Amino acid sequence: MTQIIRTVADLRVLVRAWKAAGQVVGVVPTMGALHDGHLSLARAAKAECQRVIVTIFVNPKQFNNPDDLKKYPRTEAADAALLQTVGVDVIFAPEPGEVYPDGFTSTVSVGGVSEPLEGRMRPGHFDGVATVVTKLFGMTMADRGYFGQKDWQQLQVVLQLVRDLNVPITIVGCETIREADGLAMSSRNNRLTPEGRAIAGVLFAAISTAAEDIRAGQSDRMAIREAAEKLRHAGFERVEYIELRDAETLMPSDEMQRPRRMLAAAWLDGVRLIDNIPV
Ligand code: AMP
Protein backbone atom coordinates (compact mmCIF):
# COMPACT_ATOMS: atom_id res chain seq x y z
CA MET A 1 0.00 0.00 0.00
CA THR A 2 1.39 3.38 -0.99
CA GLN A 3 1.29 5.77 1.94
CA ILE A 4 0.89 9.56 1.53
CA ILE A 5 3.02 11.59 3.94
CA ARG A 6 2.83 15.38 4.37
CA THR A 7 5.44 16.27 6.98
CA VAL A 8 9.18 15.88 7.25
CA ALA A 9 8.83 14.59 10.82
CA ASP A 10 6.56 11.70 9.74
CA LEU A 11 8.79 10.90 6.79
CA ARG A 12 11.91 10.77 8.97
CA VAL A 13 10.33 8.25 11.37
CA LEU A 14 9.75 5.84 8.48
CA VAL A 15 13.08 6.38 6.74
CA ARG A 16 15.04 5.96 9.98
CA ALA A 17 13.36 2.58 10.52
CA TRP A 18 14.16 1.50 6.93
CA LYS A 19 17.78 2.55 7.32
CA ALA A 20 18.11 0.80 10.67
CA ALA A 21 17.01 -2.37 8.84
CA GLY A 22 19.80 -1.76 6.27
CA GLN A 23 17.44 -0.98 3.39
CA VAL A 24 18.50 1.14 0.40
CA VAL A 25 16.18 4.11 -0.11
CA GLY A 26 15.48 5.67 -3.53
CA VAL A 27 13.81 9.02 -4.19
CA VAL A 28 12.08 10.26 -7.35
CA PRO A 29 11.41 14.01 -7.17
CA THR A 30 8.42 15.14 -9.27
CA MET A 31 5.88 17.93 -9.52
CA GLY A 32 3.01 15.47 -10.03
CA ALA A 33 0.64 15.18 -13.00
CA LEU A 34 2.41 11.90 -13.53
CA HIS A 35 2.86 10.16 -16.88
CA ASP A 36 4.88 7.18 -18.15
CA GLY A 37 8.10 9.24 -18.01
CA HIS A 38 7.74 9.67 -14.25
CA LEU A 39 6.65 6.05 -13.82
CA SER A 40 9.77 4.83 -15.63
CA LEU A 41 11.85 6.61 -12.97
CA ALA A 42 9.79 5.01 -10.19
CA ARG A 43 10.24 1.59 -11.83
CA ALA A 44 14.01 2.10 -12.12
CA ALA A 45 14.08 3.05 -8.43
CA LYS A 46 12.02 -0.03 -7.51
CA ALA A 47 14.44 -2.27 -9.41
CA GLU A 48 17.46 -0.93 -7.50
CA CYS A 49 16.19 0.05 -4.04
CA GLN A 50 14.31 -1.77 -1.30
CA ARG A 51 12.28 1.35 -0.50
CA VAL A 52 11.04 4.04 -2.88
CA ILE A 53 9.75 7.53 -2.12
CA VAL A 54 8.17 9.62 -4.89
CA THR A 55 7.93 13.27 -3.94
CA ILE A 56 5.13 15.40 -5.39
CA PHE A 57 5.71 19.10 -4.84
CA VAL A 58 4.96 21.93 -7.27
CA ASN A 59 7.93 24.03 -6.23
CA PRO A 60 7.00 27.72 -6.45
CA LYS A 61 10.68 28.76 -6.39
CA GLN A 62 11.48 27.19 -9.75
CA PHE A 63 8.71 28.94 -11.68
CA ASN A 64 9.90 32.19 -13.18
CA ASN A 65 6.46 32.67 -14.76
CA PRO A 66 3.56 33.04 -12.23
CA ASP A 67 1.01 32.07 -14.88
CA ASP A 68 2.85 28.78 -15.53
CA LEU A 69 2.76 28.04 -11.77
CA LYS A 70 -0.96 28.79 -11.58
CA LYS A 71 -1.75 26.63 -14.62
CA TYR A 72 0.45 23.71 -13.51
CA PRO A 73 -1.79 20.60 -13.34
CA ARG A 74 -2.46 19.08 -9.90
CA THR A 75 -3.82 15.52 -10.03
CA GLU A 76 -2.81 13.90 -6.73
CA ALA A 77 -5.50 11.19 -6.57
CA ALA A 78 -4.70 9.94 -10.08
CA ASP A 79 -0.96 10.15 -9.34
CA ALA A 80 -1.40 8.06 -6.19
CA ALA A 81 -3.32 5.39 -8.13
CA LEU A 82 -0.51 5.16 -10.71
CA LEU A 83 2.24 4.96 -8.09
CA GLN A 84 0.33 2.23 -6.30
CA THR A 85 0.57 0.07 -9.46
CA VAL A 86 4.36 0.49 -9.44
CA GLY A 87 4.61 -0.48 -5.77
CA VAL A 88 6.03 2.80 -4.49
CA ASP A 89 6.23 2.80 -0.67
CA VAL A 90 5.65 6.47 0.06
CA ILE A 91 4.36 9.57 -1.68
CA PHE A 92 5.83 12.58 0.07
CA ALA A 93 3.52 15.48 -0.81
CA PRO A 94 4.20 18.39 1.54
CA GLU A 95 2.38 21.74 1.59
CA PRO A 96 4.50 24.74 0.53
CA GLY A 97 4.68 25.89 4.18
CA GLU A 98 6.31 22.59 5.17
CA VAL A 99 9.06 23.09 2.59
CA TYR A 100 9.43 26.86 2.96
CA PRO A 101 8.30 27.76 6.49
CA ASP A 102 8.24 31.37 7.68
CA GLY A 103 11.80 32.55 8.13
CA PHE A 104 13.24 30.42 5.33
CA THR A 105 16.10 32.39 3.73
CA SER A 106 18.57 30.05 1.98
CA THR A 107 19.22 29.49 -1.72
CA VAL A 108 21.40 26.84 -3.34
CA SER A 109 22.95 28.29 -6.47
CA VAL A 110 25.00 26.05 -8.77
CA GLY A 111 27.54 27.86 -10.96
CA GLY A 112 28.66 27.06 -14.50
CA VAL A 113 26.37 24.35 -15.80
CA SER A 114 23.19 26.16 -14.69
CA GLU A 115 24.04 29.40 -16.50
CA PRO A 116 23.50 28.86 -20.28
CA LEU A 117 20.36 27.71 -22.18
CA GLU A 118 17.51 27.15 -19.66
CA GLY A 119 19.42 29.24 -17.10
CA ARG A 120 19.54 32.20 -19.46
CA MET A 121 15.93 31.85 -20.68
CA ARG A 122 14.47 31.17 -17.21
CA PRO A 123 16.30 33.37 -14.68
CA GLY A 124 16.19 31.90 -11.16
CA HIS A 125 14.81 28.56 -12.35
CA PHE A 126 17.86 26.45 -11.48
CA ASP A 127 18.33 28.18 -8.11
CA GLY A 128 14.78 27.03 -7.34
CA VAL A 129 15.52 23.51 -8.58
CA ALA A 130 18.86 23.24 -6.73
CA THR A 131 17.34 24.56 -3.51
CA VAL A 132 14.35 22.19 -3.51
CA VAL A 133 16.39 19.16 -4.61
CA THR A 134 18.92 19.79 -1.82
CA LYS A 135 16.04 20.01 0.64
CA LEU A 136 14.36 16.85 -0.69
CA PHE A 137 17.64 14.94 -0.37
CA GLY A 138 17.93 16.14 3.23
CA MET A 139 14.30 15.42 4.04
CA THR A 140 14.23 11.92 2.55
CA MET A 141 17.83 10.93 3.45
CA ALA A 142 17.71 8.82 0.26
CA ASP A 143 20.69 6.78 -0.95
CA ARG A 144 19.78 7.08 -4.64
CA GLY A 145 18.01 9.85 -6.60
CA TYR A 146 16.33 9.26 -9.97
CA PHE A 147 16.09 12.01 -12.60
CA GLY A 148 15.02 12.08 -16.25
CA GLN A 149 17.33 12.84 -19.15
CA LYS A 150 14.33 14.73 -20.58
CA ASP A 151 15.57 17.63 -18.44
CA TRP A 152 19.22 17.10 -19.38
CA GLN A 153 20.55 20.38 -18.07
CA GLN A 154 18.71 19.90 -14.77
CA LEU A 155 20.32 16.45 -14.46
CA GLN A 156 23.78 18.03 -14.93
CA VAL A 157 22.94 20.72 -12.35
CA VAL A 158 21.95 18.03 -9.82
CA LEU A 159 25.12 16.01 -10.52
CA GLN A 160 27.24 19.16 -10.04
CA LEU A 161 25.51 20.10 -6.78
CA VAL A 162 25.91 16.60 -5.34
CA ARG A 163 29.63 16.66 -6.25
CA ASP A 164 30.21 20.20 -4.99
CA LEU A 165 28.34 19.84 -1.70
CA ASN A 166 29.33 16.22 -0.89
CA VAL A 167 25.70 15.15 -0.70
CA PRO A 168 25.78 11.42 0.14
CA ILE A 169 23.49 10.25 -2.68
CA THR A 170 24.01 8.48 -6.01
CA ILE A 171 22.26 10.17 -8.93
CA VAL A 172 20.77 8.01 -11.68
CA GLY A 173 19.81 9.59 -15.05
CA CYS A 174 17.00 7.71 -16.84
CA GLU A 175 16.17 7.70 -20.59
CA THR A 176 13.51 10.02 -21.99
CA ILE A 177 10.15 8.31 -22.52
CA ARG A 178 8.42 9.43 -25.73
CA GLU A 179 5.01 9.31 -27.39
CA ALA A 180 4.68 7.27 -30.61
CA ASP A 181 5.56 10.33 -32.75
CA GLY A 182 8.70 11.07 -30.73
CA LEU A 183 7.29 13.87 -28.54
CA ALA A 184 8.95 13.66 -25.12
CA MET A 185 6.28 13.02 -22.48
CA SER A 186 5.64 16.07 -20.33
CA SER A 187 2.95 17.29 -17.97
CA ARG A 188 2.69 20.39 -20.17
CA ASN A 189 1.81 18.44 -23.34
CA ASN A 190 -1.88 18.27 -22.47
CA ARG A 191 -2.05 22.05 -22.76
CA LEU A 192 -1.51 21.70 -26.52
CA THR A 193 -4.52 22.05 -28.82
CA PRO A 194 -5.27 18.98 -31.00
CA GLU A 195 -3.69 20.87 -33.92
CA GLY A 196 -0.60 21.67 -31.86
CA ARG A 197 -0.34 18.12 -30.59
CA ALA A 198 -0.45 16.86 -34.19
CA ILE A 199 2.73 18.81 -35.10
CA ALA A 200 4.58 18.67 -31.74
CA GLY A 201 6.51 15.56 -32.82
CA VAL A 202 8.41 17.71 -35.31
CA LEU A 203 10.66 18.95 -32.47
CA PHE A 204 12.18 15.52 -31.90
CA ALA A 205 12.24 14.73 -35.63
CA ALA A 206 14.03 18.00 -36.46
CA ILE A 207 16.78 17.64 -33.84
CA SER A 208 17.20 13.94 -34.67
CA THR A 209 17.81 14.78 -38.34
CA ALA A 210 20.19 17.60 -37.36
CA ALA A 211 22.16 15.23 -35.11
CA GLU A 212 22.38 12.65 -37.92
CA ASP A 213 23.52 15.29 -40.41
CA ILE A 214 26.22 16.51 -38.00
CA ARG A 215 27.44 12.95 -37.46
CA ALA A 216 27.54 12.59 -41.26
CA GLY A 217 29.82 15.64 -41.51
CA GLN A 218 27.45 18.57 -42.09
CA SER A 219 28.38 21.82 -40.33
CA ASP A 220 26.71 22.30 -36.92
CA ARG A 221 25.46 25.70 -37.86
CA MET A 222 23.82 24.58 -41.10
CA ALA A 223 22.17 21.53 -39.49
CA ILE A 224 20.79 23.66 -36.65
CA ARG A 225 19.52 26.33 -39.02
CA GLU A 226 17.64 23.70 -41.01
CA ALA A 227 16.10 22.25 -37.83
CA ALA A 228 14.89 25.70 -36.71
CA GLU A 229 13.47 26.30 -40.18
CA LYS A 230 11.53 23.01 -40.01
CA LEU A 231 9.99 23.99 -36.67
CA ARG A 232 8.87 27.39 -37.91
CA HIS A 233 7.54 25.85 -41.11
CA ALA A 234 5.55 23.25 -39.12
CA GLY A 235 3.86 26.02 -37.11
CA PHE A 236 5.99 26.51 -33.97
CA GLU A 237 5.64 30.16 -32.92
CA ARG A 238 9.16 30.62 -31.69
CA VAL A 239 12.42 28.70 -31.49
CA GLU A 240 14.20 29.80 -28.31
CA TYR A 241 17.33 27.80 -28.91
CA ILE A 242 18.74 24.77 -30.66
CA GLU A 243 22.32 24.24 -29.51
CA LEU A 244 25.05 21.64 -29.75
CA ARG A 245 26.87 21.55 -26.40
CA ASP A 246 29.33 19.55 -24.33
CA ALA A 247 27.01 17.00 -22.69
CA GLU A 248 28.41 17.62 -19.20
CA THR A 249 29.43 21.28 -19.00
CA LEU A 250 26.72 22.52 -21.43
CA MET A 251 29.31 24.89 -22.88
CA PRO A 252 29.82 25.25 -26.67
CA SER A 253 32.06 22.44 -27.83
CA ASP A 254 33.59 21.19 -31.01
CA GLU A 255 35.69 18.61 -29.25
CA MET A 256 34.65 15.42 -31.01
CA GLN A 257 36.31 13.30 -28.30
CA ARG A 258 33.83 14.35 -25.60
CA PRO A 259 30.12 13.42 -25.54
CA ARG A 260 27.96 16.14 -27.05
CA ARG A 261 24.27 16.84 -26.72
CA MET A 262 21.81 18.76 -28.86
CA LEU A 263 19.32 20.71 -26.74
CA ALA A 264 16.27 22.65 -27.90
CA ALA A 265 13.45 24.81 -26.57
CA ALA A 266 10.56 26.02 -28.71
CA TRP A 267 7.05 27.41 -28.28
CA LEU A 268 3.96 25.82 -29.78
CA ASP A 269 0.39 26.87 -28.93
CA GLY A 270 1.75 29.08 -26.14
CA VAL A 271 3.38 25.98 -24.56
CA ARG A 272 7.14 25.83 -24.09
CA LEU A 273 8.51 22.45 -25.16
CA ILE A 274 12.07 21.24 -24.50
CA ASP A 275 13.97 18.22 -25.73
CA ASN A 276 17.51 16.92 -26.10
CA ILE A 277 19.39 14.01 -27.68
CA PRO A 278 22.95 12.71 -27.84
CA VAL A 279 24.93 13.64 -30.97
P1 AMP B 1 8.69 17.05 -13.39
O2 AMP B 1 7.52 16.50 -12.67
O3 AMP B 1 8.40 17.57 -14.76
O4 AMP B 1 9.50 18.01 -12.55
O5 AMP B 1 9.66 15.82 -13.65
C6 AMP B 1 10.07 14.99 -12.60
C7 AMP B 1 11.15 14.07 -13.10
O8 AMP B 1 10.64 13.28 -14.18
C9 AMP B 1 12.37 14.82 -13.66
O10 AMP B 1 13.56 14.15 -13.28
C11 AMP B 1 12.14 14.75 -15.15
O12 AMP B 1 13.34 14.82 -15.90
C13 AMP B 1 11.51 13.37 -15.28
N14 AMP B 1 10.76 13.27 -16.53
C15 AMP B 1 9.81 14.12 -16.98
N16 AMP B 1 9.39 13.74 -18.20
C17 AMP B 1 10.11 12.63 -18.54
C18 AMP B 1 10.15 11.78 -19.69
N19 AMP B 1 9.36 12.01 -20.75
N20 AMP B 1 11.01 10.75 -19.67
C21 AMP B 1 11.82 10.52 -18.60
N22 AMP B 1 11.82 11.28 -17.50
C23 AMP B 1 10.99 12.33 -17.46
- Give the tens place of pLDDT for each residue, 161-179: 999 999 999 999 999 999 9
CA–CA distance, 15 with 151 (Å, rounded to integer): 28
pLDDT at 137 over 90: yes
What pLDDT sits at residue 22?
A: 98
pLDDT at 215 over 90: yes
73 close to 187: Cβ distance less than 8 angstroms: yes
How many Å lie between the centroid of ligand 1 and the Cα of residue 29?
Answer: 9
Average of per-residue pLDDT across 168-197 = 98
What pLDDT sits at residue 243?
A: 98
- 94: Cβ below 6 Å to ligand 1? no
CA–CA distance, 155 with 62 (Å, rounded to integer): 15
How many Å lie between the centroid of ligand 1 and the Cα of residue 218?
Answer: 32
How many Å lie between the centroid of ligand 1 and the Cα of residue 135?
Answer: 18
Q: pLDDT digits over 44-88, tens only?
A: 999 999 999 999 999 999 998 999 899 999 999 999 999 999 999
Among residues of the chain, what percentage have pLDDT more than 70? Answer: 100
Residue nearest to atom 11 of ligand 1 (CA): 148
* Mean pLDDT (the chain, rounded): 97
- 176: Cβ below 6 Å to ligand 1? yes
What pLDDT sits at residue 205?
A: 98
CA–CA distance, 262 with 279 (Å, rounded to integer): 6
- 157: Cβ below 6 Å to ligand 1? no
pLDDT tier at 253 (50, 70, 90 boundaries)?
A: confident
220 close to 247: Cβ distance less than 8 angstroms: no
Residues whose CB falls within 8 Å of the CB of residue 134, separated by 6 or more in sequence, listed in order: 108, 161, 165, 167
Q: Which atom of ligand 1 is nearest to the CA of 38?
A: 8
What pLDDT sits at residue 120?
A: 97
CA–CA distance, 138 with 94 (Å, rounded to integer): 14
Q: pLDDT digits over 107-130, tens only?
A: 999 999 999 999 999 999 999 999
- To test the pocket of ligand 1, the residue of 27, 30, 62 to mutate (highest count of ligand atoms within 8 Å of its CB) is 30
How many Å lie between the centroid of ligand 1 and the Cα of residue 124?
Answer: 19
Longest dimension (CA), the chain: 58
Average of per-residue pLDDT across 10-36 = 98
Closest CA to 171 of 47, 23, 27: 27
How many Å lie between the centroid of ligand 1 and the Cα of residue 255?
Answer: 29
Q: Is 125 a catalytic residue?
A: no
Average of per-residue pLDDT across 214-233 = 97
- To test the pocket of ligand 1, the residue of 55, 146, 150 to mutate (highest count of ligand atoms within 8 Å of its CB) is 150
Reported for 202-206, long-range contacts at CB under 8 A and 24+ positions apart, including other chains, are 202/230, 202/231, 202/234, 202/236, 203/231, 203/236, 203/264, 203/266, 203/268, 203/273, 203/275, 204/178, 204/275, 204/277, 205/230, 206/230, 206/231, 206/242, 206/264
Query: Any bridge partners for residue 167, and if so which?
Result: none
Average of per-residue pLDDT across 124-143 = 98
What pLDDT sits at residue 56?
A: 98
State the pTM of this model.
0.98
CA–CA distance, 251 with 247 (Å, rounded to integer): 8
CA–CA distance, 34 with 260 (Å, rounded to integer): 29
Residue nearest to atom 7 of ligand 1 (CA): 30
What pLDDT sits at residue 254?
A: 77
